[in-house]
Structure 1
Amino acid sequence: MRFTAFLLCGNWHEAEDVMQSAFLKLYLAGPKLGDRSGLEPYLRQIVVRTFLAERRKVRWRREKLTDAPPEGLSSAAGAEDRLVVWQALTAVPARQRAVLVLRYWHDLSVEDTAAALKCSTGTVKSQSSKGLETLRRRLGPEFDHLRLEV
C-alpha cells in the first residue's frame, strides 16, 4: 500500500502522510468490519480516497519533479523507464492518476476500479483515456515502445 500511495503522491513524504491517515481511518472502522477477508481492497480504497480528498482540500499545492530517483529502485533492466514513467505520472491530474494506478498497477477491472472510486464505469474509461493521453504527451515518442493502452 505504501508504494501505491507513492505512485499516487509522487514522493515518499506525502505517501507516508496518506498512509498514516488511511491506517487511522482503517483503525477507526475496525470494530464495524465484520468480514476481514476483504481488508486489502478496503485499505486500497481508503488510500485512494484519502489521496483524492487531500488533493481537493489543497488545490494550490502542486507536485514538483526532482532529479533524485525514488528510494528502493532495483538496478534491473527497465528501471530507468520505470523511473521516467513514475515521474511523468506526477503530471497526471489526481483523479486520473488514481484510476491509472488502480487499473494498471493493481490490475483492477473497470468495474472494480469504479467500485473503489464510487463512480461509473464510463468515468473510469474516460479518466483512463485522458490519463494515458497525458502520460503519452509527457513521455514523448521515445517511449512509444511501452504499451500504454486503455
Structure 2
Amino acid sequence: MDRHDAFREFVDAHQRSLMRTAYLLTGDAHLAEDLLQSVLLKVLGRWQRLDSPEAYVRRALVNQHISWRRRRGAGEVPSAEPPDRAYSSEESAVDRIVLRQALMRLTPKQRAVIVLRYFEDRTERETAEMLGCALGTVKSQVHYALGRLRALAPELAPRFAELEDQAETQEAHR
C-alpha cells in the first residue's frame, strides 16, 4: 500500500464537497479549482500528522482564500459610480476574439510593446528595458500600434482609450 493511498481515498470521498466549499468562497469555478488544488498540495505534505483531515482542509481553504483576496484585493479600488456601460459576457467574448485577431496582425515588436505596456501593466521604462530598446522607441511603437489596432478593430477604440488613460494615470503616480 502506497503512503499516499489514504490521501487519495480522502480526496475521492470529499472532492465534491470541498469543491463546493471552494466555489462558494471564490464565486468562480476556475478559481475554486485552483484554490482546492493549492490547498491539497499543501495538505499532502502534512497528511500523516493530521487528526481531523476534513476540518483541516476546510480551514486551509478559508485561510488560503483570505490570503489570495488580500493579495489580489490590494490592487482593487472600489468605486461609488458604476461603469458608464456594462458589457455582457457575450460582448466581452467577442471583444477578446477581435482583440486577439487584431494583435496578431501587429508587427512582433508592436505586439510586444502593447502586451507589456497594457496587459502586463509595465511602465514605459520597464518595457524599454525588457525589450532592450530606447524609451522613445517604446513610445513610438505604442503610438503606431494603437493606431493600427484602432484601424483593425474600430469597435474597440473606446477600450483602447480607456487603456491609454489608465496607463497615463499609473505612469504619473509612479
TM-score, structure 1 length as denominator?
A: 0.46
Name the one with the larger helix percent. Answer: 2
**Structure possessing the higher relative contact order (Cα contacts under 8 Å, 6 or more residues apart):** 1
Q: What TM-score does the superposition give when structure 2 sets the normalisation length?
A: 0.40
